[in-house]
Structure 1
């Protein structure tokens, strides 16, 4: 790769657009160019071209490409992704300032920011219910590239609600907590499923393991489980994308730990199997936060009440449990739960 340097590189960097930055953030979050292209509604070559353009300017790869698995960030890529987060954060602040000056946007829009897996496996499936409950509001859902970005959007007013992994930020009000069960999973017929349950932790190190990158809180949760269970992990694949880890497990290339909402379809279709093992399932908590004072807004209370009721109506791990952060907030009249065609269970499959 030809390296640009000095004033020439600086000039080229100034020519980058937010489309270039968003492409990099989306590939990093999705874990592959193919999945990023679906999210961006672009062709895969178009996404690749944007990333290649930046790599040419930097003179170094942003991603390491892994055939059949996906991509991971290089050291340069992590530095560039941090720059993308800062730049997009400034853009979000500008949007919030404009919306505040405009006055009407806040009254007609319910804006939510969340990590990609919460959107893909939970929020998207609830959109029919949300639209039925809030027919006169535009629902805007924004994928957060990082925990700090999600928090920044709520603090700046660019989002009404934010989903992010606990612990909670003391500058924001936690209105609800969403609990997801995490399971150790493998392809059906995997050798570890033939080992007695009590011996599986000791045997785990013999098999390739796919997990989250070291900076993610879910990775820390998995590592704490492994330490407590006496399991030795042979980490061959690290990714920010649940889909990358899931594909590794479905293909038999690795064992992994994934949330119930992320694997519901694969379990029903027999493409994945839960590996019973000491200490599993884990419970991962996600905080739902608002700016201080906004917890009393009727639209916020109705939104959380809807999530709580859907979580309680679920009969399996494919829908996370949502609870108010304080039980006293549940008191009062229940809000009718609108049911789209197919019912609640269909909306949460």
Structure 2
């Protein structure tokens, strides 16, 4: 069993086909097929099922083998990083995944300061939802991640680096909300937008926070419309179909354009913890440790 065979196997699964995997790995399609043939021969079972047309899907054996193949490739990459770091100082490349809305916070200025201080460190950024950020880190596709809430997985370490408040927002010229209410009771007959309860996702945590706040202030019977897209929620709130409890970082542009306004109801506001995450067993190069230091606040 060769690393090249494992690499081909994982890339075919990620890309969704032999041709796209061959392109991603800069190989011919026959070369990719040969690697999978050798891997399947070594394992004694087929890993992919060829569907009609050009489609493929993992067999049960392929599904069972995939996480182990990924772990091997991640371990090899960690080993390469460790070896290269012996010669490198403030150099190298890092991949960090983060929730896109957090780019509107002072996280961006911290990253800019890091870039200016260590110009020889190449920082690659990917945006995703909180649960997706964790998956990218866990699978080794990103060394570091920035997400909402502590990651519950035992192989992930979470460091609190900042807060992002959840604020009550409505349309700038809302007919549902008149004046500038400051108490929750003023919103008794106003409909809300909520995220779905998806087990294990960040949406579930957002939905729970809204439910808790509404129940706490006697608004548990309020009409709620479940929308799984933050952007869609903002557009519907702008159109005055309801109000929402949204992260401050996500509404910077709408506030600047004057399409949304914040309702100063402090009792309903919630502070969201923003966490920096990485794998417990990940090798952290000097560049990675410097970035951790730049993003994490000093211990009190």
Question: TM-score band (shorter)?
Answer: 0.5 to 0.7
Single out whichever of 177-186 and 134-143 deviates more from structure 2: 134-143
1:14-29 aligned within 5 A: 18=14
- Richer in helix (by share): 1
User: 1:294 deviation in Å?
Assistant: 6.6
- Partner in structure 1 of residue 280 of structure 2: 292
- Distance in 1, matches of 2:68 and 2:260, equals 41
Alignment of 1:1-349 (within 5 A): 18=14, 93=71, 96-97=74-75, 99-100=77-78, 102-103=80-81, 108-118=92-102, 128-145=112-129, 147=131, 149-169=132-152, 170-194=154-178, 197=181, 201-215=184-198, 216=203, 217-232=205-220, 233-239=222-228, 241-292=229-280, 298-307=286-295, 323-324=297-298, 326-327=299-300
Kept after mapping to 1: 8 A contact 2:191/2:224: yes
Determine if contact 2:169/2:245 at 8 Å carries over to the other structure: yes
Name the Cα RMSD after superposition. Answer: 3.8
- Segments of structure 1 that go 5 or more residues without pairing to the other structure are 1-15, 22-56, 58-85, 309-322, 328-349
CA offsets, 1:89-126, max 9 Å, x none?
78864652452354477761212123343357676676
**Alpha-carbon offset, residue 137 of structure 1:** 2.0
Higher alpha-carbon Rg: 2
Deviations 1:117-153 (A, max 9, x none): 3357676676544432332122122334552x53344
Return 5+ residue gaps in structure 2 as ranges: 1-11, 18-54, 56-63
Partners of 1:111 and 1:140 within 8 A in 2: yes
TM-score by length of 1: 0.54
Change in 2 beyond 3 A, CA 1:220/1:265: same
Count of matched residue positions in the alignment of Structure 1 and Structure 2: 231
Q: Name the structure, 1 or 2, with higher relative contact order (CA <8 Å, separation 6+).
A: 2
User: Cα 1:221–1:192, aligned 2, differ >3 Å: closer, same or farther?
Assistant: same
Distance (Å, rounded) in 2 between the aligned partners of 1:161 and 1:218: 23
Q: Secondary structure at the match of 2:172?
A: coil
Given the two structures, how large is their TM-score scaled by the length of structure 2?
A: 0.61
Query: 1:189 Cα shift?
Result: 2.0
